[in-house]
């Protein structure tokens, strides 16, 4: 159980780019990073509007002289300070991730970056190389992957409880953008504009989450080829899709499907991952994250509950309150940020033994997601054809 203890014997000096007072995702970054005191928020360029960003930073306790107008000024000024930041989180629209990540690594900072990591696999490759060159970490906030029962699934699959893996069904299909809400909502507007969101909408914005959850549950499987069909039901969004289906083949002969949608009317999140083996299946749904369905052919369904003693040690390690009490997305993110802190600290100490088997969504996970989206778009735009991965 975590119980609020710090993971490190220090607190990492932390700054943020984006995630300002009008943003959707800034608050969960701060809640997660600050939860266990592994990070101390000291600086920020919180907003595209410099004045609004400064006012917001001060309202959450950041010193006025460390609320900056933009990330370049922040990186330069912080580098001059003895107590300058050593980590930065990037919670801005997608088009800015690559230049800000690159600038941060070049400024000697560890990074936490929002997904999708960047627009192209070539950019993601460059970031991965830069991380190696600078000996820095990029943690990617696939926040749902911090839910404990995903790690229970990983253990059960590794132990052979499902038998041979045959099928992976993934979906993230909500209904919130079933009509052109972007006309009114700024946070949606950039998501349907290729200049800001990149080559896809729901494939990058939504599908990369269950894709990474499935990768976490079944790390040995790799997609060998895929076929994608994408649609723009709200026509003004074309060529960006608000719905997509993907068929996948894996290296062990398994097959997979992905449904990503923002027009699934009436659905809240609809994010589910179902892994089907030759003996049994597991299913996890982000709207009931404290339960994992375990279905053995010919036996009653078992619902495994978070925080219970019968779970694997890795699923109990991040428990914060014990079974029965529900935990949620804020706890899952805190678990990720805790791991980011541990990975950054171990990297600073060149502790390769610690890092070898230490799980967290790093730059390579970001690259895998970006590469997958790129292949999906290539397949869909060629008329839904099979594409090798
Ligand atoms: N991991 C998740 O579950 C999850 C959930 C939602 C959003 N996201 C990702 O988070 C990112 C931000 O999404 P959002 O929904 O919060 O967007 P948003 O539009 O609600 O907020 C974006 C914020 O970034 C600021 N900003 C924009 N450009 C900036 C710049 N150059 N410098 C400084 N600040 C800048 C804006 O002022 C605003 O505060 C996106 O990449 C999105 O894909 C991830």
Tokens of 91: 């919670």
Reply yes or no on domain 12-143 having CATH 3.90.245.10.
no
Atom of ligand 1 nearest to the CA of 190: 19
Atom of ligand 1 nearest to the CA of 22: 39
C-alpha 8 to ligand 1 mean position (Å): 28
pLDDT at 59 (0 to 100) = 98
Pairwise CA distance, residues 332 & 336, whole Å: 7
HSE-up of residue 294 (Cα within 13 Å, Cβ side): 17
Residues with CB under 6 A from ligand 1: 17-20, 22-25, 45, 47-48, 71, 91-94, 96, 114-115, 141, 143, 187, 190, 205
* Long-range Cβ contacts of 20-26 (<8 Å, 24+ apart): 20/46, 20/47, 20/48, 20/49, 20/52, 20/53, 20/56, 21/46, 21/47, 21/52, 21/55, 21/56, 21/59, 22/47, 22/52, 22/186, 23/47, 23/91, 23/187, 24/187, 25/91, 25/114, 26/91
Residues forming a β-bridge with 167: 255, 276
C-alpha 313 to ligand 1 mean position (Å): 35
Q: Are strands 12-18 and 87-91 parallel, antiparallel or unpaired?
A: parallel
The per-residue pLDDT for range 130-155, each reduced to its tens digit, is: 999 999 999 999 999 999 999 999 99
Residue with the smallest CA separation from ligand 1 atom 21 is 23
Ligand 1 binding pocket mutation candidate from 16, 31, 51, 92 (most atoms within 8 A of CB): 92
List of residues 6+ apart from 340 with CB closer than 8 A:
87, 110, 112, 137, 139, 360
Tokens of 201: 């909408």
pLDDT at 157 (0 to 100) = 98
Closest CA to 211 of 233, 194, 228, 197: 228
Tokens of 274: 């179902």
C-alpha 47 to ligand 1 mean position (Å): 9
Q: Report the Cα–Cα distance between both ends of the chain, in Å, rounded.
A: 40
Specify the length of the chain in residues: 389
pLDDT at 216 (0 to 100) = 98
Q: Could you tell me if 226 and 160 are in contact, meaning their C-beta atoms sit under 8 angstroms apart? A: no
Cα distances (angstroms) measured from residue 389 to each of 174, 224, 229: 27, 5, 16
Tokens of 35: 């939860």
pLDDT at 1 (0 to 100) = 87
Ligand 1 binding pocket mutation candidate from 15, 21, 24 (most atoms within 8 A of CB): 24
C-alpha 25 to ligand 1 mean position (Å): 6
C-alpha 18 to ligand 1 mean position (Å): 6
C-alpha 147 to ligand 1 mean position (Å): 22
CATH class of 147-317+366-388: alpha beta
List the chain domain ranges: 12-143, 147-317+366-388
Q: How buried is residue 331: exposed, middle or buried, by Cβ count under 10 Å (0-12/13-18/19+)?
A: buried
pLDDT at 32 (0 to 100) = 98
Q: Cβ atoms within 10 A of the Cβ of 323, count?
A: 14
Tell me, yes or no, if the two domains 12-143 and 147-317+366-388 fold the same way.
Answer: no
The secondary structure of 276-341 as a DSSP string is EESSEEEEEETTSTTEEEEEETTS--EEEETT-TTS-HHHHTT-SS-SSS---HHHHHHHHHHHHH
Phi/psi at 219 (5° precision) = -65, -20
C-alpha 36 to ligand 1 mean position (Å): 23
Q: Could you tell me if 192 and 240 are in contact, meaning their C-beta atoms sit under 8 angstroms apart? A: yes
Residue with the smallest CA separation from ligand 1 atom 28 is 48
Residue with the smallest CA separation from ligand 1 atom 4 is 25
List of residues 6+ apart from 258 with CB closer than 8 A:
170, 171, 207, 210, 211, 244, 245, 246, 248
With helix as H, strand as E and coil as C, how does 130-197 read?
HHHHHCCCEEECCHHHHCHHHHHHHHHHHCCCCCCEEEEEEEEECCCCCCCHHHCCHHHHHHHCHHHH
- Digitized pLDDT (tens) for each residue of the chain, 389 residues in all: 888 888 999 999 999 999 999 999 999 999 999 999 999 999 999 999 999 999 999 999 999 999 999 999 999 999 999 999 999 999 999 999 999 999 999 999 999 999 999 999 999 999 999 999 999 999 999 999 999 999 999 999 999 999 999 999 999 999 999 999 999 999 999 999 999 999 999 999 999 999 999 999 999 999 999 999 999 999 999 999 999 999 999 999 999 999 999 999 999 999 999 999 999 999 999 999 999 999 999 999 999 999 999 999 999 999 999 999 999 999 999 999 999 999 999 999 999 999 999 999 999 999 999 999 999 999 999 999 999 99
C-alpha 21 to ligand 1 mean position (Å): 11
Residue with the smallest CA separation from ligand 1 atom 31 is 48
pLDDT at 4 (0 to 100) = 84
Residue with the smallest CA separation from ligand 1 atom 38 is 23
C-alpha 190 to ligand 1 mean position (Å): 10
Pairwise CA distance, residues 1 & 3, whole Å: 6
List of residues 6+ apart from 48 with CB closer than 8 A:
18, 20, 92
């Amino acid at each position: 159980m975590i119980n609020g203890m710090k993971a490190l014997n220090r607190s990492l000096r932390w700054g943020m780019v984006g995630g300002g007072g009008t943003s959707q995702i800034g608050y969960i970054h701060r809640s997660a990073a600050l939860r266990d005191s592994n990070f101390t928020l000291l600086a920020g360029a919180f907003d595209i509007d410099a004045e609004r960003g400064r006012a917001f930073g001060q309202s959450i306790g950041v010193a006025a002289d460390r609320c900056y107008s933009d990330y370049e000024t922040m990186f330069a000024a912080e580098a001059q300070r003895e107590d300058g930041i050593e980590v930065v989180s990037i919670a801005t629209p997608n088009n800015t991730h690559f230049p800000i990540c690159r600038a941060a690594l070049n400024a000697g900072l560890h990074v936490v970056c929002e997904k999708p990591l960047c627009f192209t696999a070539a950019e993601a490759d460059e970031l991965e190389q830069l991380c190696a060159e600078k000996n820095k970490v990029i943690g990617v906030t696939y926040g749902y992957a911090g839910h404990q029962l995903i790690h229970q699934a990983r253990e059960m699959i590794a132990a052979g409880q499902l038998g041979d893996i045959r099928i992976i069904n993934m979906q993230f299909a909500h209904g919130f953008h079933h009509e052109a809400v972007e006309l009114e909502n700024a946070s949606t507007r950039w998501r349907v504009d290729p200049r800001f969101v990149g080559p896809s909408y729901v494939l990058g914005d939504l599908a990369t989450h269950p894709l990474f959850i499935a990768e976490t549950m079944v790390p040995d499987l790799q997609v060998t080829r895929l076929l994608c069909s994408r649609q723009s039901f709200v026509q003004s969004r074309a060529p960006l899709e608000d719905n997509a289906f993907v068929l996948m083949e894996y290296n062990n002969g398994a097959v997979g499907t992905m449904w990503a949608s923002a027009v699934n009317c009436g659905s809240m999140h609809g994010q589910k991952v179902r892994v089907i083996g030759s003996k049994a299946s597991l299913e996890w749904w982000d709207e009931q994250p404290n339960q994992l369905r375990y279905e053995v052919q010919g036996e009653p369904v078992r619902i495994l509950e978070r925080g219970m003693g019968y779970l694997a040690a890795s699923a109990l390690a991040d428990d914060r309150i014990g079974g029965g009490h529900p935990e949620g997305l804020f706890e899952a993110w805190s678990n990720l940020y805790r791991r980011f802190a541990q990975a950054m600290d171990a990297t600073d100490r060149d502790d390769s033994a610690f890092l070898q088997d230490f799980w967290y969504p790093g730059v390579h996970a970001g690259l895998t997601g970006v590469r997958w989206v790129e292949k999906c778009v290539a397949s869909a735009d060629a008329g839904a054809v099979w594409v090798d991965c």
